[in-house]
Amino acid sequence: MNAKEPAAIAAIIPTTTPSTWLGVMGGGQLGRMFAQAAQAMGYKIAVLEPAQDCPAAQVADRHFLADYDDEVALAELATLCAAVTTEFENVSSHSLAFLAERTFVAPKAACVSIAQDRIAEKNFFTDCSPKSKVLPAPHQVINSAADIDSVPENLLPGILKTVRLGYDGKGQARVTTLDELRSAYADMQGVACVLEKMLPLAYEVSVLVARGVDGEAVVYPIAENVHRDGILFTTTVPGPNVSDDCAKRAQDAALSIVGQLGYVGVLCIEFFVLQDGSLVVNEMAPRPHNSGHYTMDACVTGQFAQQARAMARLPLGDVRQHSPAVMLNILGDVWFDGETDQGSDQMREPAWEKIMGLPGAYLHLYGKAEARRGRKMGHITFIAPSLAQAQAQMAKACLLLGIATP
C-alpha cells in the first residue's frame, strides 16, 4: 500500500461547516431521488444538467445548467463536490474521466462505457462467464447491410437492437426472417446493431448489487419484472416464480460480475430465466434502476441511499427486505381519459387522494411538468404483510387509475 491509498479510501463524511457536497450528472427522476436520499443523510447536492426545469434540479441545492461535456462546468462541479456519480449511462465517458482527474467518481468511466455499448457489454459478460456461470443470448454484430447475408438461420427469430442509446423498448425490433431483418436494419438508419436470438423466456429478473471501493459487495432480494410495450410495468419482490435456487444463481452471478468489473456504486443486472430454468444475462445499468425503486419503501436501505454510501465510501447499508412489495410504474397515459370527438386527448388529474388512501401505498411523483403517453411520471410501491395483500392493493390502484390489470 502506498502513502496515498489511505486518503483515497477515506470516507466522505457529511458536515455542515463547510457543507459536504456530492454531485450527480443528469437531471432526471433518478437524480432527483438520489438527491433526496443523500440530503436526508446530510449532504448538499449539485446537479449538472442542460435542461432548466428538470426533476433533479427542483430539489438540488445547486444546478449547473450546462451540457454534459462542458469542461468549465465540469471543472467547477469537481471543485465543489467531494464525489460525483451519474444517474444515466449515456453520459459521456470522456466527461466522467475528466471529472475523475479532479475528484472521486463512482462508477468510473471505464465501467459506464461498457454499459453504453451492447457489443462491449456482451463481450464483457462472455469474459466473465467462467466465474459467473452465465452467458448472454446467442447474438451477432451487424455493422452493415452486407453482414446480414452471414446471419445464421438459428438466430431467427430474433431481436435487432442498436448498439448504443436504446432503452425502454426504443431502438429495438423483432424480426423473424432475413427480409424483416434487412427492413428493420434499414429503419435504424444503418447504425451498428446486434441481433439477439429470441429464447424460450419464462420471466425476467433483475438483481440490484452494490459494491464499495474496498471491494465489499451486497446484493438485494431478486426482483421479478413484467414489461408492457418495452417499458417496465411492475416489479414484484419476492418474485412469485423465482425459486430459491434461481435466486441464488442470479445473486452469485451478479456478485461475480460486479467484482470482475471493479465497480463502485449500485449496479442493476437483468437476467432472463428460460423455461428450462437456466439463466441468461441480458444487460446491466450502471446506476440505480427502475426495478429497484421498491427498495425505497420495502428495504432497510433504499437503492439511492446505498448509492450515496458507496460514492461517499461509507459502509454499505443493510439490504434486508422488511415487507413484500409490488412496484407499479405510472406513465403519462393515466392523465388522459382517451380520445375526444375532436380527436385530441382529454386530460385529467389522476385520483391521487384515493391512491394514498390505500393501505401500504407509497406514491412517488417525479415533478415532470408535462404528462405524455409512455413517459415515466412516477411510481407507486405497495407493501403489505403478505405478497398477496400487496398485489391486491396494486390491482385496486390500477382500477382507480384506469390501468389494465395483468
- What are the pLDDT digits (tens) for 387-398? 999 999 999 999
pLDDT reading at 165 higher than 60: yes
pLDDT at 190: 81
**Architecture of 138-197 per CATH?**
2-Layer Sandwich (3.30)
pLDDT at 345: 63
357 annotated to a ligand binding site: no
220 annotated to a ligand binding site: no
pLDDT at 367: 96
d(CA 267, CA 208): 6
227 annotated to a ligand binding site: yes
Confidence of residue 166 (pLDDT cuts 50, 70, 90): low
In this prediction, residues 331-342 reach a mean pLDDT of: 74
69-88 pLDDT tens trace:
999 999 999 999 999 999 98
199 annotated to a ligand binding site: yes
pLDDT reading at 356 higher than 50: yes
pLDDT reading at 170 higher than 90: no
- Percentage of the chain beyond pLDDT 90 is 86
* Grid cell in block for residue 49: 444538467
pLDDT at 197: 96
pLDDT at 348: 87
123 annotated to a ligand binding site: no
Confidence of residue 344 (pLDDT cuts 50, 70, 90): low
Q: Are 56 and 47 in contact (CB under 8 A)?
A: yes
363 annotated to a ligand binding site: no
Q: Which residue has the higher pLDDT, 5 or 116?
A: 116
241 annotated to a ligand binding site: no
Q: Are 75 and 55 in contact (CB under 8 A)?
A: no
190 annotated to a ligand binding site: no
In this prediction, residues 351-377 reach a mean pLDDT of: 96
pLDDT reading at 2 higher than 50: no
In this prediction, residues 325-330 reach a mean pLDDT of: 98
Could you tell me which residues are beta bridge partners of residue 112? none
B/e letters for 38-60, b = 16+ CB within 10 Å, e = fewer, are bbeeebbbbbbbeeeebbbbbbb
In whole angstroms, how far apart are CA 341 and each of 338, 344, 345, 350, 361? Answer: 10, 8, 9, 21, 35
pLDDT at 7: 40
170 annotated to a ligand binding site: yes
pLDDT at 153: 87
Q: Is 197 helix (H, G, I), strand (E, B) or coil?
A: strand
158 annotated to a ligand binding site: no
332 annotated to a ligand binding site: no
Mean pLDDT for all residues in the chain? 93
B/e letters for 64-97, b = 16+ CB within 10 Å, e = fewer, are bebebebeebbebbbebbbbbbbbbbebbbebbe
pLDDT at 167: 59
**φ and ψ of 261, to 5 deg:** -75, -20
168 annotated to a ligand binding site: yes
Cell 375532436 locates to: 342
287 annotated to a ligand binding site: no
Confidence of residue 10 (pLDDT cuts 50, 70, 90): confident
Question: Per 3-state DSSP, what percentage of the chain is helix, strand, and coil (rounded to 5)?
Answer: 35, 30, 40
Confidence of residue 346 (pLDDT cuts 50, 70, 90): confident
370 annotated to a ligand binding site: no
Count of residues for the chain?
Answer: 406
d(CA 43, CA 172): 39
pLDDT at 341: 39
The closest alpha carbon to 277, from 202, 224, 204, 198, belongs to 202
pLDDT reading at 347 higher than 90: no
Q: Are 88 and 54 in contact (CB under 8 A)?
A: no
167 annotated to a ligand binding site: yes
Q: What is the DSSP annotation of 253-289?
A: HHHHHHHHHT--EEEEEEEEEETTS-EEEEEEESS--
For the chain, what are the domain ranges?
A: 5-105, 138-197, 201-401
The closest alpha carbon to 279, from 256, 255, 247, belongs to 247
Q: What is the pTM of this model?
A: 0.93
In this prediction, residues 360-388 reach a mean pLDDT of: 96
**Architecture of 201-401 per CATH?**
2-Layer Sandwich (3.30)
pLDDT reading at 340 higher than 90: no
In this prediction, residues 354-377 reach a mean pLDDT of: 96
CATH number, domain 5-105 = 3.40.50.20
Q: Which residue has the higher pLDDT, 29 or 150?
A: 29
- Percentage of the chain beyond pLDDT 70 is 95
For helices 29-40 and 303-311, what crossing angle results, to 10°?
A: 70
pLDDT reading at 259 higher than 60: yes
Q: What is the DSSP annotation of 213-253?
A: TTS-EEEPPPEEEEEETTEEEEEEES-TT--HHHHHHHHHH
Q: Is 337 helix (H, G, I), strand (E, B) or coil?
A: strand
pLDDT reading at 203 higher than 90: yes
Confidence of residue 42 (pLDDT cuts 50, 70, 90): very high
pLDDT at 342: 42
In this prediction, residues 103-114 reach a mean pLDDT of: 96
